[in-house]
Amino acid sequence: MSGLHFDVVGAEGPKAYFGRMTVDSLAHAYLFAGAPGVGKKTFALRLAQSLLCEAPASAKDGVLGYDGTCHSCRLFNSEGARHPDFLEHIGILKIGDPDAAMGFYEGEDLTARDLVRQLSMQSYSGGLRVLLLGDIDFATHHAANALLKFFEEPPRGVVLILTSATPGRLLPTIRSRLIELRFPLLAQAQVREILLQMGYDQEHAQLGASLGQGSVTRAISALGDDDETLRSQIAGWFFRVVDGETPEEGWASRETLDEGLEVLKSLVRDWTALATAGDRAPLICVDYASELRALPALAPADAIAVIGKLDDAQRLARTNVSPAMVSELVRMALTGKG
């Protein structure tokens, strides 16, 4: 692959397979199977870019590789632009029952008509057309039947790629027509590399990789849950403080202080809103609505004072003052002793 890229982490098996292929030896339809978050759709997207890249085939590794600079690649790289020979649809294929009274489902974003039209269109650039149906699922068996028509008479020059984490749910009549490639779980170092590419810092990339168990999706969700834990810790601390207790300040560390104070400010804003506008006040912390409603009313003047002290605490938090000291100031502000 002289001067060309194929920027996909892992997926050695699929890379080896497509590395042996030529445009003429490609199958009509593939199924990329594997757990969520192991790179099936990313691979499909990069494969599509490779197949449509204008770089000479002799420069590619099989059919893999793109220059990133040709007209076609620029369409893949720019936000909002779409390559006319590439169609991507993620999620349930909601193709209506042609015999039903309604015909088509409402609100569907890929209809049978769209799909049939896409499959029968001529290539815009005179090369291949690539259709990616990611996380494929069919709303009805009629939806699946629309796809079966493709296999009965596959149009020339179309490559169809389906991805699924649950290939066993596909109709055997569909699955048997697909070339199935397995995408294994990623190694921890590979998850870390992808998270770094996505813009996570070293620390979170490492944490996500160790929690992700081979899946980028799981890694990101674990990192999100971590924030949830911080949020719920702080909310728990807040309600106990307002209740007159002096709970442990476990949430307050150098890393969490700033974010923690933001959570506390939003809780105090909601507390104030409930006191002034009553139960129908629009809340920021909807997840704590019932706890907030159970709080004693906060006088507007006191609310302004508390929010002012939280702002002071936030400024202090950005200095060398110890996190425990800052949270103690917040506790006193919340209990009217600050």
The residues that touch Zn ion, with contacts defined as CB under 5 A, are 53, 66-67, 70, 73
What does 182-223 look like in DSSP terms, one character per residue? E-PPPPHHHHHHHHHHTT--HHHHHHHHHHSTT-HHHHHHHH
Sign for the CA dihedral angle at 34, 51, 156, 58 comes to: negative
> Which of 35/70 has CB closer to Zn ion?
70
Residue closer to Zn ion, measured from CB, 67 or 249: 67
Beta bridge pairs of residue 64: 61
Residue 124 Cβ vs Zn ion, minimum distance, rounded to whole Å: 15
- Under a CB-based contact definition with an 8 Å cutoff, are residues 265 and 315 in contact? no
Least distance CB 70 / Zn ion (angstroms): 3
DSSP β-bridge partners for residue 134: 90
Residue 236 Cβ, how far from Zn ion at the closest point, in Å? 53
Closer residue to Zn ion in complex, CB, 71/318: 71
Quick one: tokens of 172?
């055997």
Nearer to Zn ion, 126 or 199 (CB): 126
- Sequence-distant (6+) residues with CB within 8 A of 5 are 65, 66, 67, 68
In the complex, what is the shortest distance from the CB of residue 1 to Zn ion, in angstroms, rounded to a whole number? Answer: 13
What angle is formed at CA 90 by the lines to CA 111 and CA 131, rounded to 5 degrees? 70
3 vs 278, beta carbon nearer Zn ion: 3
Nearest distance, CB of residue 83 and Zn ion, angstroms = 10
Question: Which CB atom, from 74 or from 169, has the smaller least distance to Zn ion?
Answer: 74
Please give the Cα distance from 273 to 285 (Å, whole number).
11
Give Cα 192 distance to the centre of its chain: 16
Minimum CB distance to Zn ion, residue 28 (Å): 23
How many C-beta atoms surround the C-beta of residue 204 within 10 A?
A: 17
